[in-house]
Amino acid sequence: MKYFLSLFFVHLSLLIFSQNFDSNRISERLKVGVPFLRDHIYAGIPTYYKKDKYEKLSYVFADKTAYAISNLLESGSVYSEWDDLEKYINEILYKIMPKKLAKDSVIHAYIYQDGSVNAFMTPSGQFFIHIGLIARCYDESTIAAVLAHELAHYYKRHSLDSYIQEEFGNFDGGLDISDKKRNRHSVLKEIEADSLAMIWMKNSNYSLLGILKSLKILEREEQRILGRSKDDWKLKEQTHPLSDERLNKYNDYYKKNKALNSKSFIINEDKFIKFKELAKKESLKSLLDEIKYYDCLELAFKFHLMDPDNEIYVHYLMESIRRICYIDKETWNQNFITNRYYDTLRVDGIRKKREVKRGLFDKLDFNLLPITQEEAKYIKARFYWQGEKKFKTYNEAFEFFNKLGIALNCNECKLSYALSMTRKKDIKLRNKLLIQYQALDNIKYKKYANSLINDDIIKNLSSKKLLVFNEFFAAVKQGKKRVTIRKLSRDTTDVLLNIFDSIKASSRNRTLVYMPKLKHSNLSEFKILKTFQYLTFIKSLKTNNNRGFWEKSKKTIDIKLHILDPRYVEVYYKYNVNEIEFVNCIYTESRKKVNTKEEYKSIINTSFQELLTSTKSTKSIHVVVSSLREIKNKRLQIVAYGDEESLKFKEPSYNGVIKEIRHKIKYKEKVARDIDSNDEKSIGW
Domain ranges of the chain: 82-270, 291-453, 465-678
Q: What is the mean pLDDT of residues 200-220?
A: 90
Question: Residue 52 — very low, low, confident or very high, per pLDDT cuts 50/70/90?
Answer: confident
Q: What is the mean pLDDT of residues 545-565?
A: 56
Determine the distance from the C-alpha atom of residue 238 to the mean position of all C-alpha atoms in its chain, rounded to a whole number. 21
Q: Sheet with 126-130: list strands edge to edge.
A: 108-112, 126-130, 119-121
Determine the distance from the C-alpha atom of residue 12 to the mean position of all C-alpha atoms in its chain, rounded to a whole number. 8
pLDDT score of 485 more than 90: no
DSSP per-residue codes, 48-68: GGGSGGGHHHHHHHHHHHHHH
Question: Residue 233 — very low, low, confident or very high, per pLDDT cuts 50/70/90?
Answer: low
pLDDT score of 165 more than 80: no
Question: Residue 348 — very low, low, confident or very high, per pLDDT cuts 50/70/90?
Answer: low
CA 401/CA 447 separation, integer angstroms: 25
Question: Residue 349 — very low, low, confident or very high, per pLDDT cuts 50/70/90?
Answer: low
Instruction: Decide if 404 contacts 321 (C-beta within 8 A).
Output: no
Beta bridge partners of 177: none
Q: What is the pLDDT of residue 338?
A: 94
Strand locations in 536-606, DSSP E? 542-543, 550-551, 579-590
Alpha helices, H only, 290-365: 293-306, 311-327
Instruction: Decide if 549 contacts 292 (C-beta within 8 A).
Output: yes
Q: What is the mean pLDDT of residues 232-252?
A: 61
Residue 674's φ and ψ, nearest 5 degrees, are -65, -45
Q: What is the pLDDT of residue 159?
A: 86
For residue 659, what are the contacts with CB-CB under 8 A and spacing of at least 6? none
pLDDT score of 627 more than 90: yes
Q: 122-136, 320-334, 486-500 — which is least confidently predicted?
A: 486-500
DSSP per-residue codes, 582-599: EEEEEEEEE-----SHHH
For residue 640, what are the contacts with CB-CB under 8 A and spacing of at least 6? 624, 625, 626, 664, 667, 668, 671
Q: Which region, left, alpha or beta, applies to residue 569 given φ > 0 means left and ψ of -120 to 50 means alpha?
A: alpha
Q: 46-50, 226-230, 581-585 — which is least confidently predicted?
A: 226-230
pLDDT score of 547 more than 50: no
Residue 436's φ and ψ, nearest 5 degrees, are -65, -40
Determine the 3-state secondary structure of 626 from DSSP: strand
More confident: 173 or 68: 68
Instruction: Decide if 318 contacts 203 (C-beta within 8 A).
Output: no
Q: 5-14, 369-378, 615-624 — which is least confidently predicted?
A: 5-14
Q: What is the mean pLDDT of residues 574-578?
A: 94
Q: What is the pLDDT of residue 186?
A: 61
Q: What is the mean pLDDT of residues 434-447?
A: 94
CA 161/CA 191 separation, integer angstroms: 15
pLDDT score of 102 more than 50: yes
pLDDT score of 457 more than 70: yes
More confident: 167 or 56: 56
What integer best gives the mean pLDDT of the chain? 84
pTM of the model: 0.87
- DSSP label at residue 308: T
- Per residue in 379-411, pLDDT (tens digit) is 999 999 998 999 999 999 999 999 999 999 999
Q: What is the mean pLDDT of residues 583-601?
A: 89
pLDDT score of 327 more than 80: yes
pLDDT score of 556 more than 50: no
